[in-house]
A and B are shown apart, each in its own frame.
Chain A
Amino acid sequence: MAVPGVCLQDFPLWSGGPTPGHFYNFPGNSKMNTGKSHTMYPSTSGTSVVGLVYDGGVMLAADSLGSYGSLARFRDVKRLFKVTDKAALACSGDIADYQFIREVIEQKVRDDVCGGYTRELNAGALHCWLTRVLYNRRSRFDPLWLECVVAGYKDDEPFLGYVDKIGTAFEAKEVATGFGLHFAVPMIREAREKKQNLSCDEARKLLTECLKVLYYRDCRAHFKYQLADITPEGVTIHDDLNLKKETNWEVANYISGYE
């Protein structure tokens, strides 16, 4: 081919017939199965993420376990990450999918920096974008098996949002995924009923309580966790936190069969 970039697709010699080098579906047959099948189950997965908005910022917590089914396989998986000074993301579900979407988002942020753009990606924009991506993948029957929580600031207002692997998305003042939805969210709502605006310390204590309850009750949870605190000043991630010492397993002695 003398001219680079020009191929038969641009100047078809015939239409409606076979293209050299490509599969051809003969007319009359129903669409041939290309033989590809997409993964429809998570392998290494993370369990709940819990987040809440408090007076002065947003807080997110997630434990550091990558379960391989019921095996507690990887005990130092970081499921929480800082996107920009205005947004942090935590995912439960398939860890591989989380790592993939993390790379994509990091590149997105890098592109913004290289382009010299003054506005960095904020939580609201990230949430909207993630919804579009996850919904699109689901519609193609190739989902990213994730339940994400986006926390941060949007236009100087604290923002907390949830996005699902099927593209369900919403914003709320308290959000959790997986078992957290059943255990943590009612706890947070109860605390809020007593006191509408939580301070930073109260929020942190509440989140730690939630994670402790989840560790007691969720079989796929672990005592090592990460906590992210997003304030107007920026994002602080506390790594390698451990709630083992605060847990009390005395009751185990009364269970028959426990040695």
Chain B
Amino acid sequence: MEAVKQGSATVGVKSSSHAVLVALKRASSELAAHQKKIMPIDKHIAVSISGLTADARVLSRFMRTECLNEQFAHNQALSLNKLMERVGAKMQIATQRYDKRPYGVGLLLAGFDEDGPHIYQTCPSANYYDCQAMAIGARSQSARTYLERHLDEFRSSTREELIRHALRALRDTLPNDVELTNKNCSIAIVGKGEDLSIYDDDDVNPYLEGLDQEERRGGAGGARDAQPPAAPTAAAEEDDAASAPPPPPTDEQPQGDSMETD
């Protein structure tokens, strides 16, 4: 569980037609590239990780083979609920056998199947949760507060509005001096009539446009005075007093961490 809390934040949101994941990529040093956080599983499923990357890759590989097997044996895309059951069963073994350790990674899955869009969260305890919206990782409480506040707007959001919501929630997890850039941000979206697309680097630019100017709410407090532009969503303005409490100092990512958490 600690590993998940130390990984960098990732947010997932769904509307009635799309499911979106956004993730904050972390670079272990200035020299290193930002670690990939969103992994495609199938044409209709993507997963975003928070925690031990190596464990996440094992689970991703498992999920990919399950999807492929379904395609081969049944000529259809694997339903998300079936996939989650299998992942849950696999993770649970590791929590009960004496010679194994739990998978130290939290996953946010976004997928679209015959029942519509889905967001699922898993933890190292092998529990999985079907969510309307969720954020995990470092300082994700601020993101969750944003998501709770805007929960009613998600269902009817358009594709672009949904991505914006997710990015705003993600931005709330950042300290004041850090901004979302195309280097540290990844977006994945899948939905009705739309196969999975993952946006990195320059492809992220159109979605980040104008986000800087918008006023930050909650999270690391906002002394910014910039007026928010005519935001597409009817976001409530009365929440300055109801900002989330600043995150406790212990949440800061420790330097020189030997475990590769991302």
Judge: A and B partners, yes or no: yes
A131-145 contacts to B, CB under 8 A, are 132
Q: Indicate which residue in A118, A119, A124 contacts B75 across the interface (CB closer than 8 Å).
A: A124
Given the complex, which residues of A lie within 8 Å of B114, measured CB to CB?
118-119
- A118 and B74 form a contact (CB under 8 A): no
**Interface residue range, chain A:** 10 to 19
Interchain CB contact (< 8 A) of A132 among B73, B76, B81: B73
Q: How far is the CA of A127 from the CA of B74 in the complex (A)?
A: 8
Number of A-B contacts (CB under 8 A): 31
Please provide the chain A residues from 111 to 125 with a CB less than 8 Å away from any CB of chain B in the complex.
115-119, 122, 124-125
Q: How far is the CA of A116 from the CA of B114 in the complex (A)?
A: 15
- Once bound together, how far apart are the Cα atoms of A19 and B142, in whole Å? 60
Instruction: Check B79 against A119 for contact (C-beta < 8 Å).
Output: yes
Q: Name the interface residues of B206-223: CB closer than 8 Å to any CB of A.
A: none
A128 interface residue, CB < 8 Å from B?
A: yes
Distance of B51 from chain A, by nearest CB (Å): 27
Selected from B74, B75, B76, B79, the residue in CB contact (under 8 A) with A117 is B79
* With contact pairs A115-B85, A119-B114 given, residues A129 and B73 touching in the complex (Cβ less than 8 Å): yes
The reply to whether B79 and A118 contact each other, CB–CB distance below 8 Å, is yes
Using an 8 Å CB-CB cutoff, how does the interface string of B103-143 with A read, 1 for contact, 0 for none?
A: 00000000001110000000000000000000000000000
Complex alpha-carbon distance, A129 and B73, angstroms? 5
Residue B82 CB within 8 A of the other chain: yes
User: In the complex, what's the smallest C-beta–C-beta distance from B97 to chain A, in angstroms?
Assistant: 10
Q: How far is the CA of A125 from the CA of B73 in the complex (A)?
A: 8
Contact partners of A124 in chain B: CB under 8 A:
74-76
Residue in B closest to A124 when the chains form the complex, CB atoms: B75
What residue in chain A is nearest B70 (Cβ atoms)? Answer: A125
| Contact (Cβ within 8 A) B115 A118 | yes
B74 touches A128 (CB 8 A): yes
With a 10 A CB-CB cut-off, give which of B72, B74, B113, B115 has the most chain A CB atoms.
Answer: B74
| New contact pairs (5) apart from A117-B82, A128-B76, CB-CB < 8 Å | A115-B81, A115-B82, A117-B81, A119-B113, A119-B115
Contact A116 B76 (CB under 8 A): no
Binding site for A on B (CB under 8 A): 72-76, 79, 81-82, 85, 113-115
Chain A, residue nearest B86 (CB): A115
Closest CB in chain A relative to B253 CB, distance in Å = 39
Cα distance, A132 to B72, chains bound together (Å): 8
Rounded to whole Å, the gap between the CB of B66 and the closest CB of chain A is 14
Interface-central residue, A122, A127, A128, A132, by most chain B CB under 10 Å = A128
Cα distance, A149 to B23, chains bound together (Å): 48
**Distance in angstroms between the alpha carbons of A115 and B88 in the assembled complex:** 13
Q: Which residue of A lies closest to B79 (CB)?
A: A119
Question: CB-CB < 8 A to A115: which residues of B?
Answer: 81-82, 85
Q: How far is the CB of A139 from chain B (nearest CB, A)?
A: 15
Residue with the greatest number of chain B CB neighbours at <10 A, chosen from A122, A127, A129: A129
Given the complex, which residues of A lie within 8 Å of B72, measured CB to CB?
A: 132
Chain A, residue nearest B81 (CB): A117
- Distance between Cα atoms of A38 and B72 in the complex (Å): 27
- Residues on A with C-beta less than 8 A from B75 are 124-125, 127-128
A121 CB to closest chain B CB, in angstroms? 8
B72 to chain A: closest residue by CB: A132
Residues of B within 8 Å of A125, CB to CB, are: 74-76
Q: Which residues of B contact A119 (CB under 8 A)?
A: 79, 113-115
Jot down 17 A-B pairs with beta carbons below 8 A, ordered by A.
Answer: A115-B85, A117-B81, A118-B115, A119-B79, A119-B113, A122-B76, A124-B74, A124-B76, A125-B75, A127-B75, A128-B73, A128-B74, A128-B76, A129-B73, A129-B74, A132-B72, A132-B73
From residue 82 to 127 of chain A, which have CB atoms closer than 8 A to chain B?
Answer: 115-119, 122, 124-125, 127
